Amino acid sequence: METFLLQGHEYIELNKLLKHLNLVETGGEANICIEEGEVLVNGEVELRKRNKLRDGYVVEFRERKIMIKAKEDLMPA
């Protein structure tokens, strides 16, 4: 599973996440994939293009699983 860091933001919209990670070529393609039920959020089909993904959410799309994190987990030294 890969991790996407929100980097100080409270959330990222689902269609923007797909585009940002280059899982789709355009925002329009992202919207179509979402509308067609190809994206799962927390194990359920998500049809809202602008669903606000927050810390702890898991997105599944085309064999990829992405965990949304507010900040990096620090490993103890």
Domain with residue 31: its CATH number is 3.10.290.10
Q: Which residues contact 8 (CB under 8 A, 6 or more apart)?
A: none
Beta bridge partners of 12: 53
Give the model's pLDDT for residue 71.
Answer: 82
Instruction: Kindly state whether residue 59 falls inside one of the protein's structural domains.
Output: yes
Q: What angle do CA 47, 50, 53 make, to 5 degrees?
A: 95
* pLDDT per residue as tens digits for the range 3-42: 999 999 999 999 999 999 999 999 999 999 999 999 999 9
Number of domains in the chain: 1
Instruction: Kindly state whether residue 27 falls inside one of the protein's structural domains.
Output: yes
Residue 76, both tokens? 């103890």
Range of the domain at 31: 2-69
The pTM of this model reads: 0.89
